[in-house]
Amino acid sequence: MIVVMKKGASALEISNVIARVQADGYQAHLTEGDERTIIGLVGESPTPLREDNYSTMGGVDNVMRVSVPYKLTSREYHPADTQVALNGSKAGGSKVLVIAGPCSVESREQTIEIACAVKEAGATALRGGAFKPRTSPYSFQGHGETGLKWLAEARERTGLPIVTEVMDPGLVPLVAQYADVLQVGARNMQNFVLLSEVGKSQQTVLLKRGMANTMEDLLMSAEYILAQGNKRVMLCERGIRTFEKYTRNTFDINAIPVLKARTHLPVIADPSHAVGYSEYVTSIALAAVAAGADGLIVEVHPTPERALSDGRQSLNYDGFKQMMARIRLVAEAVGRTA
């Protein structure tokens, strides 16, 4: 059971609830968001838990008995779709949003050029990495704050909001200054310190599923963000690690309808990482839309064969335009737009 306190509940009201929890023989775990405090009741006790013992206490907003381990993230708690605003559209609404751009931002000119190209082809937002998580310390690590500035300039020119990754909890405020959407990458999906920080930032978050994480793990990680009072979270399926060798990852297409059933948050698909080879990206993008994805995040580069990272899975401009045209047809076939 969890007890959600009202915004502005007093310290006394909170400690009263805790005292009651302990008197009932349970442990109280506090999650203190910027806006409100949530008290989780855990452990076992002979005293049965009763909602109304708590719901009538001072400062309590809501008492929930949720059958799944993720609470605020679940459809049980929040049955209606959460819609996350992005560039005048809404992720989780009827339009399938497309976030496109390079894996890493490589130069000022190129960033602006790509932004113009993807905008023209119909993209909703611009992606681009300034801080890059790389397996090797000797690989290109991104242009850092300089890259963020190029992205901001591309936004000024095109109006496209910026989606970019943050890896360092200490840099969340810096990245949030430039970015419209903070991306938490697959390798950081269970970096709980980072999750709390992006939660506290109250900025929109794109949370990618880790390559060996279950859907439940993903929902639990989203819970870390929501527990900070930040509901503007988009989940992203980008493929998991299996024994298959012909593709970079195995795209778990099942996750799209299953996550949509279990959570109210929008679900985005990343067909580029999902399969890892540009010649298959459009097929996977179409499949994701047919399965119910609320959006796509796709890697686009003017000359993929010369990209500093992930060139093998990036579409060129023509490929992206063709993908967009085909996406629109499939979106329509499933009762949506793109």
Q: Provide, rounded to whole angstroms, the least separation between the CB of residue 137 and a copy of itself.
A: 5
- 262 closest CA partner among 136, 132, 91, 74: 74
Q: Which stretch binds a copy of itself (CB under 8 A): 11-19, 52-60, 100-108, 239-247?
A: 239-247
Longest dimension (CA), the chain: 67
Opening angle at CA 217, ends 177 and 227, nearest 5: 50
Q: By CB under 8 A, is residue 116 in contact with a copy of itself?
A: no
Report the distance separating Cα 175 and Cα 223, nearest Å: 22
Restricting to residues 212-231, name those near a copy of itself by CB under 8 A. Answer: 212-217, 220, 223-224, 227
* From candidates 22, 94, 242, 337, binder to a copy of itself by CB under 8 A: 242
Q: By CB under 8 A, is residue 287 in contact with a copy of itself?
A: yes
- 181 closest CA partner among 201, 196, 156, 153: 201
Q: By CB under 8 A, is residue 296 in contact with a copy of itself?
A: no
Q: Provide, rounded to whole angstroms, the least separation between the CB of residue 190 and a copy of itself.
A: 4
Opening angle at CA 212, ends 209 and 217, nearest 5: 55
* From candidates 286, 298, 307, 338, binder to a copy of itself by CB under 8 A: 286
* From candidates 187, 200, 312, 321, binder to a copy of itself by CB under 8 A: 187
Residues 106 and 308: beta-carbon distance below 8 Å = yes
Q: By CB under 8 A, is residue 266 in contact with a copy of itself?
A: no
How many CB atoms neighbour CB 23 within 10 A?
A: 11
Restricting to residues 86-115, name those near a copy of itself by CB under 8 A. Answer: none
* From candidates 123, 289, 298, 300, binder to a copy of itself by CB under 8 A: 289
Q: Which stretch binds a copy of itself (CB under 8 A): 15-23, 74-82, 99-107, 327-335?
A: 327-335
- 15 closest CA partner among 51, 39, 34: 39
